Amino acid sequence: MIDYQKFIQRNSRRIYASAALVAALFAASILLNGGPTGTAWIVRNSISSGSLISSLDVSTVKVNLATDSAHYISAKDLVIGQFATRTLNPGDLISISDFTRTSRASEVRYMPLGIALDDLPIGLTAGDHIDIYVIPKQASLGPALVVSNISIHQIDNKSRALGGNIEIEVSVGITAAMNLVDAESQGRLVVSRHAF
């Protein structure tokens, strides 16, 4: 009994250090095993609001959503063949409210617009959110906001290389489409891109 007490007294620092090392290794193994616990759908290519979701646009990824898992679609739930309810950008996890089984095609219009090269932001891409302003031909009228927070569906990059007007296609509702047609007849359209 006395030998054990002497051994513990002489080697107490080593015993405490060894115990701390074992506890640290145990804690590290718990943290490393607490990684992703499920799979969810993630967007690979931009999907415009109202568009059909295809297998090329989405893939599955391992994630740890913890208490938020009920808000996102797991990999076992099929989203391919459904319709997007909002514009989805690459890297977005698909939530329950991001898709529907029925098409809203009657609500969405793909509106082509010819915008001067100088009136477009540099590096504008499909999926970006933009505002469109009109600069009227009449000098007595000032510039005005036509539509706000709409999504770019496509850009004709071939026309960008040639200069002049760049053809873009935006996805809008019927009211915004009418506003754009009216604004185009009144003057020059200018596009501004949202920062985020």
Q: What is the pLDDT of residues 28-65, one digit of tens each?
A: 777 666 555 677 888 888 887 777 788 888 888 887 76
Which of 22-26, 75-79, 104-108 is predicted least confidently? 104-108
* pLDDT of amino acid 196: 61
- Between helices 12-32 and 2-10, what is the axis angle to 10°? 70
**DSSP symbol at 166:** E
pLDDT tens readout for residues 143-162: 899 998 888 888 887 776 67
Over residues 71-91, mean pLDDT? 78
For tokens 């754009």, what's the residue?
180
- Selected residue with higher pLDDT from 105 and 38: 38
Quote the CA–CA distance of 89 and 99 in Å, as a whole number: 13
